[in-house]
Structure 1
Amino acid sequence: MKQGKSVPSVSEQLDLRPGQSLELLQELHILTREGRINQDSRRKLKQVYHLFQFIEPLLQELSRDGHAPTLADHGAGKSYLGFILYDLFFKALGRGQIYGIEWRAELVDKSRALAARLGFDRMAFLNLSVAASAEAVELPAQIDVVTALHACDTATDDAIAFGLQKRARALVLVPCCQAEVAACLRQGKALQLARTPLAELWRHPLHTRELGSQITNVLRCLHLEASGYQVTVTELVGWEHSMKNELIIARYTGQKKRSAAERLRAILAEFGLEQALAPRFGLEFVPD
């Protein structure tokens, strides 16, 4: 008589690491109080785990020679990413600090309470927008790693500006929706259709939205390269898990690429975006 296959344990199903806090996973509603898996939250956890695999090597490098790494997580929401990072890395390291930045006060209060309950005493939560965080006195002058997971609209741009101001050694970004470029493309559509056949790329509203998102992320990468970062773009997880799937990793080298700044300006000019966006990407707008 054949024996049936054994059912994988919760630890095996979630690919938990030794010493990982089950209490944290319950508090984040990934596990129920009975220890069962909450399938609705499992997808979110998979994204965060995958992102952790990219962030962990950066933190390991930064924590050499006794350095206490700092990380700012923008648009933190319920702070899934921050809590998992602390549990899997900062807790055992015994030094370093995570700052969760979130504009919704009720989520900040819940995260503060959870961190206190779990003894995660090197986590701080700030009730601020991403744009306002650069001037916050609660944050140090330099932050080693800046993350932004699905920070909507221009919040990813604000996180990049924050990283540049704080002289971040690395930025790890998963951009979300961005409507600004699409709006600019729509505004000059009739003129562009007459000027260049490339305007067919955004003649239809769906294409306008998708192209706007694509252009925005290309501009962000060029801006980072022009500011002294080496940039890698890859997928976060498979498309079956999230349509907002682009992962931008920028590591500071100090080598500012002039060619990146030139291409950035050329793209803005080609799509008629100079007036609206040149200052956003560190360029001066000079009217004709």
Structure 2
Amino acid sequence: MKPQPSHLETSLPAEVMQTLSEGTYIQLVLSKPIEKRTSAWKKVMVRPVILKDTLHFQIALSKGQQEVHENLLPAEAVQRIVELWADHFREGYLYTQVADSHFQKTKQGTVRLKTHAPTKAKPLQAESHNRSKQYLIPEGTPCAFLEAIGVMSEAGKVKSAQYRKFRQINRYLEFINDIVPGLPKTGELQIVDFGCGKSYLTFATHYFFTEVLQREVQITGLDLKRTVVEHCQSIADQLQCRGLSFQTGDISQFDVSLQKCDLSISLHACDTATDAALASAIQSEASVIMAVPCCQHEIFQQITSKPLEGLLQHGILKEKTAALVTDALRSLALEICGYRAQVIEFIDTEHTPKNLLIKAVKRQSELSVRDLHELVGQYESLKGQFGIESFYLERALGARFRELCESSR
């Protein structure tokens, strides 16, 4: 008979239990299953939802391509979470408005708990399964910048041909809302949008911080195309967007010493332009970095791997592999430079093709020598596995990055 785990091994930390009982958390994740069987649950995610005007917690259990949902009342959800933790998982993450908590079962039969600064903002309300979606920019309410860029009518009605863009803007603002806890709590926020293009998301960022959060901002939209910059500036002037300006310039030539940056945004900056934006943000010690890369070619030219020849001989598969390797290296470089990085899907696939968002929040304390050594090892191992000598971000970060890598050896 399989021995039952001890009480210490199965108990959730008291702080976690209290938060679960109060129902004040944003999200809970359980991972690292105890059992290795393919039939075992691999991951659990819990979040608040509204069903028939009543608060429930949706428990999503995943294994392989299968996902099962259980919608439970608060007390039932707590009991179910306790059972799942005791019997199935070794590690958990609890996200609240005030802190992120990481708890883990140890070999000594205890549960170790670590808390960090929060990385998720409190949702405006639990997601409802019974009502139309509540957007940060509500439908039916006039919004000047959405009218100016042709998404809304003067009366606040979303134009049918622009509904996809309206949803994309609101989905983007949900991500911005998530990173607010990582930004300075007071004072004027300095934001740079590298490669802003037509800038509808730049205007959305300005609206969110000034209208929704009532913050003072200085937002700079940077793009190579003078005509686009002039058009965006004319809209900003027309709408009297205080603290929003646009400049013509090359991302790689942006002088970070002349401008502080709290939030760096680069959405679909092509190829190495994403790396130039990341390097500028890191060098300016931005509090939060958000990047959605696209058309990555640099590593495609270098990538090679004897064990993966069967994969890399197909051009389209090699292209996708090179893109994933590029973003993995970018994320590791951010971690080495003192950020907590995540790679997540940017936009709901129902409305637009998949994009990956690299989200990085500056750590409050320096990495330990051990953690830095592990990250540098992963970074160099990944480069070695795919025959990569160097890439743009590494070169752009220069001596500082090399010193960090060398100091871990």
Relative contact order higher in (CA < 8 Å, ≥ 6 apart): 1
Per-residue Cα deviation, 1:148-198 (whole angstroms, up to 9, x for no partner): 11111111111110111111011011111201111223xxx5xx5xxx222
Q: Which moved more, 1:32-41 or 1:240-249?
A: 32-41
1:62 to 171, 183, 192: 183
Which residue number in structure 2 is paired with residue 128 of structure 1? Answer: 249
- Change in 2 beyond 3 A, CA 1:229/1:50: same
2:298 to 180, 185, 204: 180
For 1:61 and 1:230, the matched residues in 2 are separated by: 11
For 1:89 and 1:150, the matched residues in 2 are separated by: 22
Which residue number in structure 1 is paired with residue 5 of structure 2? Answer: none
Deviation at 1:130, TM superposition (A): 1.4
Structure 1 stretches (4+) deviating beyond 6 angstroms? none
Give yes or no for the alignment of 1:166 onto 2:287. no
**Any gaps of 5 or more consecutive residues in structure 2?**
1-131
Which residue number in structure 2 is paired with residue 82 of structure 1? Answer: 202
SS of residue in 1 equivalent to 2:294: coil
SS of residue in 1 equivalent to 2:269: coil
Which residue number in structure 2 is paired with residue 8 of structure 1? Answer: none
Deviation at 1:109, TM superposition (A): 0.5
Per-residue Cα deviation, 1:241-275 (whole angstroms, up to 9, x for no partner): 33341111100114343322221112112211115
Which residue number in structure 1 is paired with residue 383 of structure 2? Answer: 268
Which residue number in structure 2 is paired with residue 116 of structure 1? Answer: 237
For 2:154 and 2:139, the matched residues in 1 are separated by: 20
For 1:279 and 1:149, the matched residues in 2 are separated by: 21
- Change in 2 beyond 3 A, CA 1:201/1:283: farther
- Change in 2 beyond 3 A, CA 1:165/1:276: closer
Give yes or no for the alignment of 1:71 onto 2:191. yes
Deviation at 1:203, TM superposition (A): 0.9
Deviation at 1:20, TM superposition (A): 6.3
Deviation at 1:134, TM superposition (A): 3.1
For 2:253 and 2:172, the matched residues in 1 are separated by: 25
Deviation at 1:239, TM superposition (A): 2.4
Per-residue Cα deviation, 1:121-148 (whole angstroms, up to 9, x for no partner): 20011111211123584xx1x2001011
- The code of the aligned residue for 1:246 comes to L
1:17 to 133, 138, 144: 138
For 1:174 and 1:275, the matched residues in 2 are separated by: 21
For 1:103 and 1:110, the matched residues in 2 are separated by: 13
TM-score (norm 1): 0.81
SS of residue in 2 equivalent to 1:98: strand
**Any gaps of 5 or more consecutive residues in structure 1?**
1-11
- Change in 2 beyond 3 A, CA 1:37/1:275: closer
For 1:23 and 1:58, the matched residues in 2 are separated by: 25
SS of residue in 2 equivalent to 1:143: coil
Per-residue Cα deviation, 1:36-66 (whole angstroms, up to 9, x for no partner): 53444332332232121121243355352x3
**Structure 1 residues 1-288: aligned runs within 5 Å:** 15=135, 16-17=137-138, 21-32=142-153, 37-59=158-180, 62-64=183-185, 66-91=186-211, 93-134=214-255, 137=258, 140=259, 142-185=260-303, 192=305, 196-253=306-363, 254-256=365-367, 257-275=372-390, 279=395, 282-283=401-402
- Change in 2 beyond 3 A, CA 1:269/1:204: same
Deviation at 1:34, TM superposition (A): 7.6
For 2:324 and 2:378, the matched residues in 1 are separated by: 15
On the 8 A contact 1:74/1:130 being kept in 2, the answer is: yes
Higher helix content, 1 or 2 = 1
Q: How many pairs align?
A: 263
- Change in 2 beyond 3 A, CA 1:23/1:279: closer
On the 8 A contact 1:104/1:127 being kept in 2, the answer is: yes
For 2:133 and 2:215, the matched residues in 1 are separated by: 28
On the 8 A contact 2:348/2:354 being kept in 1, the answer is: no
Higher strand content, 1 or 2 = 2
For 1:13 and 1:242, the matched residues in 2 are separated by: 18
SS of residue in 2 equivalent to 1:150: strand
TM-score (norm 2): 0.58
SS of residue in 2 equivalent to 1:41: helix
- Change in 2 beyond 3 A, CA 1:27/1:118: same
- The code of the aligned residue for 1:259 comes to E
